[in-house]
Structure 1
Amino acid sequence: MEHITLLLAIVIVTALVFDFTNGFHDTANAMATTISTGAMKPKAAVAMSAVLNLVGAFLSVEVAKTISSGLVQEDGIQPEVIFAALVGAILWNLLTWLVGLPSSSSHALMGGLIGATIASIGVSGVNGGVVVTKVLIPALAAPLVAGIAAFLAARLTYKLGRNVGEKSSEKGYRAGQIASAGLVSLAHGTNDAQKTMGIITLALVAGGALAPGSNPPVWVIVSAGLAIALGTYLGGWRIIRTMGKGLTDLQPQQGFAAQTSAAAVILASSNLGFSLSTTHSCSGAVMGAGLGRKGGVVRWSTATRMFMAWGLTLPAAGLVAAGAEFVARQGDWGIAVVAVFLIGSCAAIWFVSRRQVVDHNNVNEPEEPAAEEPAGVVTTAMAAVTPPPAGAASEEPAVAAVPAQTGPVPESARQAKATV
């Protein structure tokens, strides 16, 4: 840990903050379906996920190498560039969490890194081939592959369960969900925790504390694993609600199929060093499993909002990071301004989120219960409290014209009321 300057220390702390937001932002990937189907209690689910994320962080460093020595040119990258990249990624994570949209923390980080690098040294600083082969292609392929696998797996589970009692079948698949959720959490640790390891290693290389091409030091692996585990334990309840209840309605069989398919895709990509989005994989698997049950549906309005967030992630994080890099390069005062902006923005987003709290107590409740009321009930209730426009003819003139009575109702009034 030699040659760690104040700026480098700020970058490392900011990277761990990003890792923390990555943890609670992506808890839904592993646990949303397990919680929504009742296979596990919410707090127990996120605790298990946190432990397995920590374990997964120690299993591989292939993705960390992709980030630290493959995505951008190490020569010419300064610590303030990485600081700016992290600012863009953190703010995008928090904004999408606030609105409950599952988006890729991985792509937010890479978008921020690309944007800050281009602002600093130009397009030549980005390895375009690595971006295409290890970022963009997996981003498109992962949800499709996971979705198709989950669709087929869901169909197979229902076919195999025809001769099994419904209660026994659901009990078995709930147990299977717990196991598959653990596998997704482990896979998340092997993939996402490494991205922070990679970004810290890149910062250490840029600051002269490590030689180019070095593997992440042990203290980097430990701190990144702990940060993502803590974030996971706190739980991104808003996104868990969207993925568990907002995209489709899942039964235990579908939840098991979705999680198993997503875990297989994520673990395979980690082994190959692909910086895969676990969010894309798990979201695609949830939609595939939703369609895998006969009569199952996907709420395409929610899915469309999610797809839009996916498309905006790289450019949005990149633009914020580019602006932050421009200010940060002005010197110490610029770095201070960016740091204050980041802290202020995070605080503002948190205060806004307190207006409507989503936690383990209400995570399985619908977002807008009032929207589920039958149209007739809502219309009648509104009509009861809304006076008719001035001069408008009443639809029930006979009833409206009858004044309040304290004694017996005249026969003529009863006949008029019966007619209406």
Structure 2
Amino acid sequence: MLSSLLVGVLIAAFLFELINGFHDAANAIATTVYTRALPPRAAIIMSACMNFLGALTHESVAMTIAEGIVSITPDLYVIFSALVGAIIWDLFTWWKAVPSSSSHALIGSLIGATIVYTHSLGYVQWDGVLNKVIIPLFTSPLIGFALGFTLMRFIFELFASWTPHRANTLFHRLQIVSSMFMAYSHGSNDAQKTMGIITIALVSQGLVAAGTGIPLWVKIFCATTMAIGTSVGGQRIMKTVGSGVTKLEPVMGFVSETSSAIAIQIMTAIGAPVSTTQVITTAIMGSGSAKGLRKVHWGVAADIVQAWFVTLPVTIVLGGLVCWIIGMIV
């Protein structure tokens, strides 16, 4: 029989994954909606389906969360605190329409809760945090920007003789495919963070043996929840991603989605829990810069980048604070 605290962890995990779905739905479909390649409802349904499929196909990122961030199996209330801290930050940034990282929110909150729980910095696997979190924090957006810029320049050369109408018609269609690829990539990386957290909770209760991978029901639970969250949409952040950084055209939407999906797949392959928000945003910046630096709204971009760097330290504090409060109650 499941303990009441484990049920609380599962409910918190459900809420986090649900929020992750609608918070990050804009990542995969904002460009598609704002270039009118698909109407919002069709884009959201498509994204939900591809998120579900992507979430079922990988577990390397989930294992990084479960075994590569902290070196102990903490009590359930610590895991619950980490989820609550991440939820608070996600809701705050969603309310402010800032496309922050749900991934870094969860990782930061887990680190903070573990530090407060152990009264020590020694139980955080700082080498794992550096190699799988901090370094990808910088490299994945740079890869997205570089791919966006390079692919855009290549397409300029390849389709230079085409009329704008002919090019727009082609890339309207291609953008549907690239949006599906992006949504699949989002699910294959983002949904795994919650899988990892749930697995830590199950290991702490002896319901799953450490090192045996992610149970199938956990994968289905997280994949379904993210798909439901995605189906709710994410109109506030979608506006920032889709039109705030630069004026999007179908070719730029295709380039941005394709570039970011490739970058995310690279990081998923090495088990790095990256921010799909960061990657799609910098891919948009890269494709916009290929048309000229003035095409990018660098003020909006600077605000977004600032949120990236703030998320990890803020959620470390949040996770620690929530853990301290709940620890006193428990």
With structure 2 as the length reference, what TM-score do the two structures score?
0.97
Q: How far did residue 253 of structure 1 move?
A: 1.0
Quick check: 1:21–1:94 contact (8 Å CA) kept in 2?
A: yes
> C-alpha separation between the residues in 2 aligned to 1:143 and 1:175?
26
In the alignment, which of 7, 17, 20 is matched to residue 19 of structure 1?
17
Contact 2:99 2:304 in 1 (8 A): yes
Does residue 327 (structure 1) correspond to residue 325 (structure 2)? The answer is yes
Amino acid at match of 2:85: G
Aligned twin of 1:83: 80
What is aligned with 1:275?
273
3-state DSSP of counterpart to 1:22: helix
1:100-139 alignment runs, 5 A limit: 100-121=97-118, 122-139=120-137
SS in 2 for 1:329: helix
Q: In 2, distance between residues paired with 1:295 and 1:131? A: 34
Q: Secondary structure at the match of 2:328?
A: coil
Post-superposition offset of 1:165: 2.4
3-state SS of 2:105 partner: helix
Q: Secondary structure at the match of 2:268?
A: helix
1:324-363 deviation per Cα after TM superposition (whole angstroms, max 9, x unaligned): 111211244xxxxxxxxxxxxxxxxxxxxxxxxxxxxxxx
Structure 2 matches for 1:132-211, cutoff 5 A? 132-211=130-209
Aligned residues: 329
> Contact 2:140–2:267 at 8 Å: present in 1 too?
no
Distance 1:104 1:80 in 2: 23
Distance in 2 separating the partners of 1:72 and 1:187: 26
| Cα displacement (A) at 1:208 | 2.5
- Normalized per residue, the structure richer in helix is 2
Once the 2 structures are TM-superposed, how far is the Cα of residue 294 of structure 1 from its aligned partner?
4.3
Q: Deviations over 1:54-83 (max 9, x none)?
A: 0111111111100011111134x1111111
Counterpart-to-counterpart distance in 2, 1:4 and 1:277: 32
Amino acid of the residue matched to residue 138 of structure 1?
Answer: P
Confirm or deny: 8 A CA contact 1:4 1:207 kept in the other structure: no
Q: CA deviation at 1:296?
A: 5.2
Kindly indicate whether residue 321 of structure 2 is the aligned counterpart of residue 291 of structure 1.
no
Cα drift, residue 276 of structure 1: 1.3
RMSD over aligned Cα atoms: 1.2
The Cα shift of 1:295 comes to 6.8
* Structure 1 alignment gaps of length 5 or more: 333-420
Q: 1: CA distance between counterparts of 2:13 and 2:88?
A: 13
Identity of aligned residues (%): 40
Paired residue type of 1:84: S
* Alignment counterpart, residue 97 of structure 1, candidates 86, 94, 97: 94
1:28 deviates by: 1.2
Residue in structure 2 matching 1:67, options 65, 68, 82: 65
CA contact (8 A) 1:74 1:206 kept: no
Shift of 1:166: 1.8
Alignment of 1:341-360 (within 5 A): none
Q: TM-score, normalising length from structure 1?
A: 0.77
User: Which of 1 and 2 has greater Rg?
Assistant: 1
SS at 2:66's partner residue? helix
**1-structure distance, mates of 2:251, 2:6:** 48
SS in 2 for 1:60: coil
Note the residue ranges of structure 2 that are not aligned, 5 or more in a row.
Answer: none
| Structure with higher RCO (Cα < 8 A, 6+ apart) | 2
